[in-house]
Each structure stands twice: as C-alpha cells, then as structure tokens.
C-alpha cells in the first residue's frame, strides 16, 4: 500500500470503525421494552388536547425485537376494543407477526415513515404509512384476510359476516377531515351474512329479527374519497341466496369513530332462500304483513334498507323500498 493510501486509511478507518462500533452497541443495548411500552401507551391513552385520554382500546404485544438497524419485529400483537355497555363482551383483532421498518430521515425531523408487513387472520397485509403533524397517509395491500377471525368487526357491522378480504386502500388525511382523498378497491370472496342466531336491529321491532345464514357469493367494493367524503361507487355481489347492491357515503371525522355513514343497501333473495327454513318463511311472510317491514319491499320484490349513524354511536336501520335502487339498477 502506498504511503498516501495508508494516511487516508488511518483518517477514514478509525472514525468508520468507531461509528460502526457505536451503531452496533446502540443496536444491541437499545431499550426495546420501552419502545413496546410507548406503543401501548400511544394506543391506549393517546394525547388529545394536550392531555392523555383513554381510547377505549387495549394493546398487547408478546414480543418486540430489532430487525437490522431501522426495523422491528413484533409477535402476538392483539388489539382489543373494550366494551362500552354492561352486557357487551370485548372484541379484538390479532396480528400473528408484524415487521416494520422506520425511515430515519423522517424520524430526525419528528415525522413517521414506516413500511410494514403483517400476518393477520390467516392473510397478508403490507403497505406504507406516513405521518407529519396532523396529516397522515397510508397505502395498503390486503390478501386473503379471514374476516371471521376478526371479532372487532362485530362492533361495527349489523350482522356477523365471514369472507376472505383482498384488495387495495390508498388514503391521505390532512389536518382537516375535508382534506381527505384516496381510493378503495376491495373484493370479498365467499361472503356469508348472519349465523341463525344474531339479530338485525330494526327500529320498532324490539330486539330485531334473527337472520339465517345467507350465501352472498363474491362482492366487489369500489369507493373514491374526495373532500373528506367516501363515496361508494360500486357495491355489487351475487351468491346462491341473493344479489347485492349498494350506494352511499361516509363522512370522515376525527377521531375516526365519529365518522358518519349513510348507506342504501339492496338485497334480492332467491326463492330457494325464502323457503330455506320455517324461520325464513316466517320472516318473508312478516315482511308482507307488517306495515313497518313492508317499507323495506320494492316493487320488484327486493328489499332495501338505509343504514345511517356514527361508527361509534347508534346506527339506525329503516326501510327504503320506495327509494330508487342503488346505482339506478
């Protein structure tokens, strides 16, 4: 080695060795338990209005460990929605594994830039998340996520559902809800609605109506988010028991649970389902006999209902048989 090369190696090599040693030391001794505690705190008691308030959720993380320099691996991640009524049970969603990699440059200026991959409910979820101040954006791909294994959905849906969910969500939320924009393209494979035990709440009918399991087949969902409003452009499906259609909107708010939905759903049942059991025969006879239920029936024999309310509040369901069919179909 030439003398000038030795001098360069001396001045470059020692600082480089120190830097590598420092990074490895920090990597091996970093308090990852504190990172886990921080994540739990931010989910369970987020900062709002200058103070921490309960979110109504609990987060459990069995293990959090480093992955290379800027990544973390998490196992046994469980998000629990706590009951708000005495007779409610907690519901949850469990992520078998999560891998996330944080952008260093964003972190230096106090922002968040994360690429992530996760296994949840037997399916795969991967994407990108960014947050800067009050603005955030995420781009997510989903593949074969089993909705039946995500019990937390029960608190937001009028009836239990099972299906495999795949698709893409691209959404950006600004400082104000009106700045939200993006698109949603999802498909549900093998959708089944109801279980023969759960009841569909209908105003004026006490506890509601028990619904036998319905085979709705495959369903396509397409929506566009503009100016803070999610517009349902396509909701279409066909199965052995019924054809589905729908239209409506979701006005996005912060926190998300305050978002308000107004959706019109159309269901045209097959004669085979109407004669499936004594319960279904009685149900469709009741539609013809009860004035309130007759309001669900359209001129061509389908049923239409309007679902409205906030995601965190009381969602109402009423008959909409006299309204134009979703999408004009």
pLDDT, tens digit (0-9, with 9 covering 90-100), for 88-114: 777 788 888 888 877 655 455 556 678
Residues 6+ positions from 88 with CB-CB distance below 8 Å = none
Q: What percent of the chain has pLDDT over 90?
A: 23
Q: What is the pTM of this model?
A: 0.74
Q: Which of 133-147, 173-187, 266-280, 285-299 has the lowest mean pLDDT?
A: 285-299
pLDDT 10s digits, 211-227: 889 999 999 999 999 98
What's the pLDDT band for 288 if we cut at 50, 70, 90? confident
Torsional class of 4: left (φ above 0), alpha (ψ -120 to 50), beta (otherwise)? alpha
Mean pLDDT, residues 167-173 taken together: 91
Q: Are strands 181-193 and 214-226 parallel, antiparallel or unpaired?
A: antiparallel
- From CA 121, how far away is CA 37, in angstroms rounded? 24
Does position 149 have pLDDT exceeding 60, yes or no?
Answer: yes
Q: What percent of the chain has pLDDT over 70?
A: 81
Q: Are strands 209-210 and 214-226 parallel, antiparallel or unpaired?
A: unpaired
Scanning the structure block, which residue is given the tokens 């959708």?
Answer: 191
Q: Is the dihedral of CA 307, 310, 311, 312 positive or negative?
A: negative
- From CA 145, how far away is CA 142, in angstroms rounded? 7
Does position 142 have pLDDT exceeding 90, yes or no?
Answer: yes
pLDDT for the residue numbered 5: 54
- From CA 318, how far away is CA 308, in angstroms rounded? 9
Does position 22 have pLDDT exceeding 50, yes or no?
Answer: no
pLDDT 10s digits, 72-88: 787 888 888 888 777 77
**Between 292 and 248, the higher pLDDT residue:** 248
- From CA 125, how far away is CA 145, in angstroms rounded? 8
**Between 112 and 170, the higher pLDDT residue:** 170
Q: What is the CA radius of gyration of the chain?
A: 25
Mean pLDDT, residues 186-195 taken together: 92
Q: Is the dihedral of CA 163, 164, 170, 173 positive or negative?
A: positive
Closest-CA residue to 235 (of 216, 256, 254, 260): 216
What's the pLDDT band for 240 if we cut at 50, 70, 90? very high
């Amino acid at each position: 080695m030439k003398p000038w090369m030795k001098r360069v190696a001396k001045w470059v090599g020692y600082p480089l060795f120190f830097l590598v040693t420092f990074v490895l030391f920090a990597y091996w001794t970093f308090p990852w338990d504190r990172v886990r505690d921080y994540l739990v705190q931010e989910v369970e008691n987020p900062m709002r209005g200058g103070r921490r308030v309960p979110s109504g959720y609990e987060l459990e993380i069995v293990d959090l460990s480093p992955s290379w320099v800027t990544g973390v691996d998490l196992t046994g991640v469980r998000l629990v929605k706590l009951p708000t009524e005495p007779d409610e049970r907690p519901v949850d969603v469990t992520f078998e594994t999560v891998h996330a990699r944080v952008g260093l440059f964003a972190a230096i200026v106090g922002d968040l830039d994360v690429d992530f991959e996760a296994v949840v409910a037997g399916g795969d979820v991967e994407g990108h998340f960014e947050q800067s101040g009050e603005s955030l954006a995420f781009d997510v791909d989903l593949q074969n996520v089993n909705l039946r294994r995500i019990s937390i959905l029960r608190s937001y849906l009028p009836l239990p559902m099972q299906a495999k969910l795949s698709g893409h969500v691209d959404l950006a939320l600004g400082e104000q809800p009106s700045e939200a924009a993006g698109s949603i393209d999802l498909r549900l494979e093998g959708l089944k609605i109801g279980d023969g035990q759960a009841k569909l709440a209908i105003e004026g009918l006490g506890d509601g109506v028990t619904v036998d399991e319905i085979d709705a087949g495959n369903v396509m969902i397409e929506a566009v988010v503009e100016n803070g409003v999610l517009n349902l452009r396509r909701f279409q499906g066909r199965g052995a028991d019924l054809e589905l259609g729908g239209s409506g909107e979701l006005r996005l708010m912060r926190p998300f649970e305050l978002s308000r939905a107004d959706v019109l759903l159309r269901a045209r049942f097959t004669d085979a389902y109407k004669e499936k059991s004594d319960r279904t025969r009685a149900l469709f006879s009741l539609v013809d006999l009860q004035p309130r239920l007759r309001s669900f029936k359209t001129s061509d024999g389908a049923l239409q209902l309007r679902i409205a309310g906030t995601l965190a509040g009381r969602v109402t369901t009423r008959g909409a048989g006299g309204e134009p069919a979703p999408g004009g179909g």
